[in-house]
Amino acid sequence: MPYWYYDKKDLQNTPSFRDGINNDTENRYRKEGARFIIDTGSKMDLGYNTVATGVVYFHRFYMFHSFRTFPRYITACCCLFLAGKVEETPKKCKDIIKVAKSLLNEEKFNTFGEDPKEEVMTLERILLQTIKFDLQVEHPYSYLLKYAKCLKGDKTKLQKMVQMAWTFVNDSLCTTLCLQWEPEVIAVALMFLAGKLSKFEVVDWNGRAPKHNAWWDMFVEDITMELLEDICHQVLDLYSIQTQPSGGESPPLPPAPKPPKNEKKPPVTPPISASPAAPAKTPVKNGAEFYPYAPPPVAYTAPPPRLPPPPRLPMGLVYDAPPARFVASVPPPPLVPPPFLRARSPASSPPILSAAVIAIHCSDCVKVFSLCELRVTKPGRSQSFY
């Protein structure tokens, strides 16, 4: 079987890179492609599993081909088309193309060629061969729910934490994390992050054994704090990356020096608003499945909390009470697509936003917060932390 996980060196030396596309640009293409799959999928009422499977195909595909050979948006459509069939939620190719057309500007849609459907059909065969017909993909979502089931503590806080972690998993699709780590590891890391940010301290869990320092030791062996932090930062970086030289198939640029990770930056434009899906996006029936919740508008305008003292996320502002069904179904925690994935009533909902916005809104404090807080849990001190 092909091994679908790569180390950072491989992720830098990709076909696109060898084709003259620098890493930052490639990562932006990946992010845009993934976001486009998410937006198209959501607009077509496709569930999170289908969307996530499509995104994983997309990332894997570009480990073998260059973004210059295969423009990202049509590949994205093709990945979603195949994922729909694999996950038993098939959508007609022409419908996917129709939605794609509505989400893309003319110039981007022109990369689909003269006969978009035929292009997708040809591309599908290339995609299948590239991913070795390795169709079944696992995602962190199911692990998230499985792990949450074991954690003890305040139910409301737990729900908030899981909800937040879920959103991080959604957003993690825009990174190459699925090419680096198994879904179990990603689930642990993003639950850990959500736990930190939502102030949910896991003090006890079902199945605890003396050898366990932390709850995740029960599920994933030898997970280090460095690894957890690295994964969290890759997701958090999504929210603080500076507006890149925008534009599509721009010529390869010399790699721009990356800003230091925890350097303070003024809040940047939420990536979501720059996403191709942004224009006039209103919730469609169940279409917001992918976005567990939409933060109220106030989340934009509220100033980031001062730092220090204790960095606080404006949780109250950002997170609504979980929808009733969620409360009702816990305990026991949901096994099936959790109800918090339902769209809220269209009438009162603000434009759908990725949870990313929440973190962006105070991305700096998240950064600083996570950095300093994470340090506390460095091995050796984890005992006292809990």
Partner 1 sequence: MQGVSAPREQAPPVISTSSTILNMREKEKYIEDFDFPFCDESSKYEKVAKIGQGTFGEVFKARARNSSKKFVAMKKVLMDNEKEGFPITALREIKILQLLKHENVVNLIEICRTKATLHNKYRSTFYLVFDFCEHDLAGLLSNVNVKFSLGEIKKVMQQLLNGLYYIHSNKILHRDMKAANVLITKNGILKLADFGLARAFSVAKSGQANKYTNRVVTLWYRPPELLLGDRNYGPPVDMWGAGCIMAEMWTRSPIMQGPTEQQQLILISQLCGSCTPDVWPGVESLDLYNKLELPKGQKRKVKERLKHYVKDPYGCDLLDKLLQLDPAKRFDADTALNHDFFWTDPMPCDLGSMLAQHTQSMFEYLAPPRRPGHLRHHHHAPAQPKPPQDSTYQDRVF
Query: Binding mask 99-118 vs partner 1 (x if CB under 8 A, - otherwise)?
Result: ------x-x---x-x-----
Q: Which of 135, 268, 307, 315 binds partner 1 (CB under 8 A)?
A: 135
Query: Per CB under 8 A, does 334 bind partner 1?
Result: no
The size of the chain, in residues, is: 386
User: In this chain, which stretch among 254-262, 267-275, 308-316, 373-381 interacts with partner 1, using CB under 8 A?
Assistant: 267-275
Query: Per CB under 8 A, does 126 bind partner 1?
Result: yes
Q: Which of 156, 224, 242, 274 binds partner 1 (CB under 8 A)?
A: 274
Please say which residue, 125 or 212, places its beta carbon nearer to partner 1: 125
Q: Which of 14, 17, 35, 184 binds partner 1 (CB under 8 A)?
A: 35
> CA torsion sign, 50 to 291 to 352 to 111?
negative
Buried b (16+ CB within 10 A) or exposed e, 26-47: bbbbbbbbbbbbbbbbbbbbbb
Q: Which of 153, 237, 252, 302 binds partner 1 (CB under 8 A)?
A: 252
Q: Which of residues 213-242 bind partner 1 (CB under 8 A)?
A: none
Three-state secondary-structure class, residue 93: helix
Instruction: Measure the CA–CA gap between 111 and 314, rounded to whole angstroms.
Output: 42
Instruction: Measure the CA–CA gap between 315 and 296, rounded to whole angstroms.
Output: 11
Backbone angles phi, psi at 267, to 5 degrees: -55, 140
User: In this chain, which stretch among 28-36, 230-238, 255-263, 375-383 interacts with partner 1, using CB under 8 A?
Assistant: 28-36
User: In this chain, which stretch among 82-90, 165-173, 182-190, 373-381 interacts with partner 1, using CB under 8 A?
Assistant: 82-90
Q: Which of 275, 354, 370, 377 binds partner 1 (CB under 8 A)?
A: 275
Contact 164, 198 (CB under 8 A): yes
Query: Per CB under 8 A, does 132 bind partner 1?
Result: yes
Instruction: Measure the CA–CA gap between 266 and 299, rounded to whole angstroms.
Output: 16
Please say which residue, 121 or 328, places its beta carbon nearer to partner 1: 121
Instruction: Measure the CA–CA gap between 216 and 212, rounded to whole angstroms.
Output: 8
Could you tell me how many residues of this chain bind partner 1 (CB under 8 A)?
A: 54
Query: Per CB under 8 A, does 287 bind partner 1?
Result: no
Three-state secondary-structure class, residue 185: helix
Distances (CA, A) of 160 to 205, 247, 343: 17, 37, 17
Strands (E), 211-312: none
Please say which residue, 34 or 366, places its beta carbon nearer to partner 1: 34
Q: Which of 18, 211, 222, 243 binds partner 1 (CB under 8 A)?
A: 243
Q: Which of 7, 9, 18, 133 binds partner 1 (CB under 8 A)?
A: 133
Residue 157 tokens read as 């806080």
Residue 373 tokens read as 């807080």
Instruction: Verify cis geometry, omega within 30 degrees of 0, for the bond prior to 331.
Output: yes
Q: Which of 77, 82, 197, 318 binds partner 1 (CB under 8 A)?
A: 82
Instruction: Measure the CA–CA gap between 288 and 43, rounded to whole angstroms.
Output: 7
Give contact residues for partner 1 (rule: CB under 8 A): 2, 20, 28, 31-32, 35, 64-65, 68-71, 81-82, 85-86, 90, 92-93, 105, 107, 111, 113, 120-122, 124-126, 128-136, 243-252, 271, 274-276, 278, 336
